[in-house]
Amino acid sequence: MENNRAIPDDERLKYKGTNDNPDIKIFVSNRIDLDSEIVDNPLYIPVRCGAVYDKRKNVEMLGDDTGDNISEKRMIYCELTVQYWAWKNIDADYYGLCHYRRYFNFGEKLPNIGLKQGVLDALTEENIKKIGIDDKEKVIEEIKKWDLIVTPMYEMGKDTIAKFPGRNARELWEKNCPNFLEPKSFDVMLNIIKELAPDYYKDAEYYMHRKKNSRGFDCYIMKKELFFSFCEFEYPLLGEFERRSKTEGYSTTQHRNVAYMSEWLYDIWIYHTTKNKQIKWTEKQLAVFNDTSKRKILEPINRSEKYEKTVPIVFALSDTNRFFYATVLQSIIDHSNDNYYYDIICLQQTYNSCKWDMYLIKQENDLLRMIIDDKDNFSLRFYDPAHDIGKLDYYFNNKRNEENLYYKLFLPWILKNYEKVIYVEDVMFFDSDVAELVNMIEGEGDYIKAAFDIKWIGKHRNYIHEKLDTKVDAEHVCKFKDTSLILFNLNNLRQRVVKQDVEKYLLLNIEKMEDNELFNELYWRYISEIGLEWNYLQYNEPNFSDGLTGYFDTAPSELTTEYNDIKEPKGININNKDHIFIVNNIYTVRWMNTIEKTPFKFLLRKYQLILASKANYREKIFKRIINKLFPYNSVRRDAIKKIVPHSLKIWFNN
């Protein structure tokens, strides 16, 4: 391996310090197997960790494999190969080390997760601004106040997310990370410190056995004198620890024992140095980013040389709805035109903190792909719109299964290079070619089209309207559209609506209204209607067979007439996904037949059993409560039957 090349002639690596303006270089250790976003701030210098193993061509990011380096030790030293490279080859007044997904927070303090870190979803422009690392001057002024900036101290048993909180650092690691370090590793390192750095031994012994708090992650910013002191303390100890470690038979994780042990040395050095030297130092929160993947702009697929028309269709995936989207997709295929090309875009959150959930999501994505495997005129792509939804990405960080509901509000900017799209939610399935819908949104005055939401309108026009506490303007109630199927002329809409206005409106109102209400209120002046035959609502509530009819009593007569005149709907809205498994009508049967054609059919029985069990349990509890409050053949029961809505009367029958 060639790892002794000269240091690149890169302007960022040259020393530029003056008496008034110290030269600050914060090195960001990046993985070679992940193309991450980088921070647009010259103080932050991304460096590939273990670059000697990088087989990619024409990589522009700096590597740790030039000059004096230990790049080949990446698998055991991790980000410390970048630290070593900076120590041996680069001159600065301040040295810093961050990870590709962990940065010091110079902005708004984030809620702490384990180990006093703040968490953000994606490394987006908005989230970078949120922690202040885009502002070079602000970061410089803060760094200049201190000789040393380190990660926060966390308390054992209080701030850790460990299953077995320890009373000291050694106990914490031994109980929770037995696969990371062998118990003897702690004694080996303590003996090495006693031999090679005896001045640190008492503090190391205290840290290992009696200290009640700790810090980690090897992230810091410090003056040159301290940085060299740290490296001169750490690397000889780690080198000797590496030499004494018998790694035969180690797992990949155990081979990183040197890197794990470096976190101990990091804390021991900080404890010893801050106790024995008069230095100005502080702690700063680390912001950890769940997803750092480089942003990719989604481009339309052009197959005009072979197909008459391209039909772009958008799905909004959550962690739990791919099963239902399989039916949507299969129904589109069943009624597709071989002369048209169908461009399916699946919007999704990429990252999930649970590895098992991530595995299941990947498996279900593969199953969705299998549905179109033999279809030359279909493509299916997955895209994470974290970079396109602005500050909402942070808002939804802890509300994972809600984010997908709001993608529709940002479609003009998520699909910035698309002209028109059909947005479909997981409650729909089709009995006609959706390509017909594209022709409905081509006029200069067309922005958004959707069908009237006859259920919502009827519900909010009845006598209990005031109690429903909707924030939708009263004048808009009768114009309310169902957002399960939406046609967008994105070009026209982008000329009328500003993304920042949408973002601002949502942040002000997102706690007050549902996603469909927000959509209607925000875009009401741009929405026109398509016929109810494309969004034919089914009401699948068990024991509420006349529930939809109840809402018809207060819905506008022209809508109920249009609905009742539909004999062959083109798009069916199953409305309540849970109850589709326990209510039988012509449309639920057709839905079942459609899902049976997909690789998801093996999940069908599972859903039926689980949801039927839940529904029956809820029904029994509800009936028990009603019968206790309103006994059979009682005056109270007869009285309540006279005033409850028509759709509820069935519960009070004797």
CA 46 – CA 63 distance, rounded (Å): 9
Q: Predicted confidence band at 630 (pLDDT cuts at 50, 70, 90)?
A: confident
* Torsion-angle region of 48 (φ positive above 0: left; ψ -120 to 50: alpha; else: beta): beta
Q: Predicted confidence band at 645 (pLDDT cuts at 50, 70, 90)?
A: low
- 499 pLDDT exceeds 80? yes
Query: CB 147: neighbour CB atoms within 10 A?
Result: 19
In a 3-state reduction of DSSP, which class is residue 140?
helix
Short-list 483, 487, 488, CA closest to 537: 483
Short-list 206, 257, 207, 264, CA closest to 234: 264
Arithmetic mean of pLDDT, 597-622: 72
Residue pLDDT, tens place only, 87-144: 999 999 999 999 999 999 999 899 888 788 999 989 999 999 999 999 999 999 999 9
Of residues 182 and 60, the one with the higher pLDDT is: 60
* CA triple 526-530-533, angle to 5 deg: 155
Which amino acid is present at 185? Answer: S
Helix (H) or strand (E) holding 378: strand 378-383
- Contact, 237 vs 197, CB < 8 A? yes
Per-residue pLDDT, 543 = 42
CA 368 – CA 360 distance, rounded (Å): 12
Residue pLDDT, tens place only, 319-335: 889 999 999 999 999 99
Per-residue pLDDT, 105 = 98
Placement of tokens 């460990």 in the chain: 162
Residue pLDDT, tens place only, 338-393: 999 999 999 998 877 677 788 889 999 999 999 999 999 999 999 999 999 888 87
Question: Across all residues in the chain, what is the average pLDDT?
Answer: 88
Residue pLDDT, tens place only, 285-307: 999 999 999 988 999 999 999 99
Per-residue pLDDT, 649 = 61
